[in-house]
Amino acid sequence: MKLTKRSIIIAVSIILLSACATTNTSGNNDNFEEAVQGDPNFHIYLCFGQSNMEGDRAAGIPEKYKEYNNDRFQVMAAANMPNTKRTVGNWYPAVPPLVRDWTGLSPADFFGRTLVEEIDDPNIKIGVIVVAVGGCAINLFDKNNKEAMAYLDRQEKYMKDIAAEYGNNPYQRLVDMAKLAQKDGVIKGILLHQGESGKARAPNYNNGNDNENWGRAVKSIYDNLLADLKLKPNSIPLLAGQVVGNNSSIIRELPSAMRGVAHVIPTDGLTKGKDQWHFSYDGYEQLGVRYAQKMIELNYK
């Protein structure tokens, strides 16, 4: 059979259309381009939230906790820390404070320490990146920074000062640090501790104790983080810590909004510090251990 120029063009067009149909089938992720990450033995965890993720600043850091220095546990500075000579975007041994100058012991401290102690493989290193703003609502981590800043404009000066250390865009600072970290290692999970903001301070935005939209807000942040970091949807766990007293029903409901992804870390039995919102030193340690034990169950067994 003699092929005309017209018939050849039609045949080629059919082949190309078939290929497009095959690779763009509705509902699949065949075209997803996952980020290239670094050393598979360097496991990185993103941490964000409020003052209990910072650690109680008023309590300070006892010297016995500052003595910790293990090269297998690293922290990437998410804010400049002149007192400890740390600069944004660089890795350092995870000696507290991990978050900013003048912050306290964080559950992230004891999370990392527990992982390096309990993971059998000595080649595994742990890195954490912490972006936390005391007292903030979940809105401050909205990807839409106009919304986040509209919320911040109504807040007290101390919160504005903290946000300024993250370039007035905490969400983007977490993303930027995570992208740098992906050159060095592999992002394996997210830790969240946010939930103490109450209606008395903030009647017009989502918060962790009393707003039914909180779970949807957390899911949106999680989805945006994974998309911006080119990680497959729902591919890493998110651990959400309960508040002092273990009494937030909104946080307990998070796994329903994020099935198979979100896990709640209970705080029953943990001692509180000098006020009703913060944990004691022992409470932070035990909370960090609980985060780690759950992550070991999910990622290392």
Q: Which domains does the chain have, with CATH numbers?
A: 32-299 (3.40.50.1110)
Spell out the residues 6+ positions from residue 59 whose beta carbon is closer than 8 angstroms to its own.
104, 105, 273, 274, 278, 280, 281
| DSSP letter for each residue of 194-221 | -----TTT-TTS--TTT-TTHHHHHHHH
Query: What is the per-residue pLDDT for 249?
Result: 85
* Residues belonging to the active site: 51, 275, 278
Query: What is the per-residue pLDDT for 132?
Result: 97
| pLDDT averages per 10-residue partition of the chain, 301 residues | 44 37 39 87 97 86 88 97 97 96 95 97 97 92 92 92 98 98 98 68 44 83 98 97 91 92 97 90 96 98 91
Query: What is the per-residue pLDDT for 9?
Result: 41
Q: How far apart are CA 87 and CA 182, in angstroms?
A: 18
pTM of the entire predicted model:
0.87
Helix axes 157-165, 145-152, angle to 10 degrees: 150
Spell out the residues 6+ positions from residue 64 whose beta carbon is closer than 8 angstroms to its own.
none
Query: Quick count: other Cβ atoms within 10 Å of Cβ 96?
Result: 20
What DSSP state is assigned to residue 76? Answer: E
Structure tokens at 4: 């005309």
Query: What is the per-residue pLDDT for 16?
Result: 36
8 Å CB contact between 59 and 273: yes
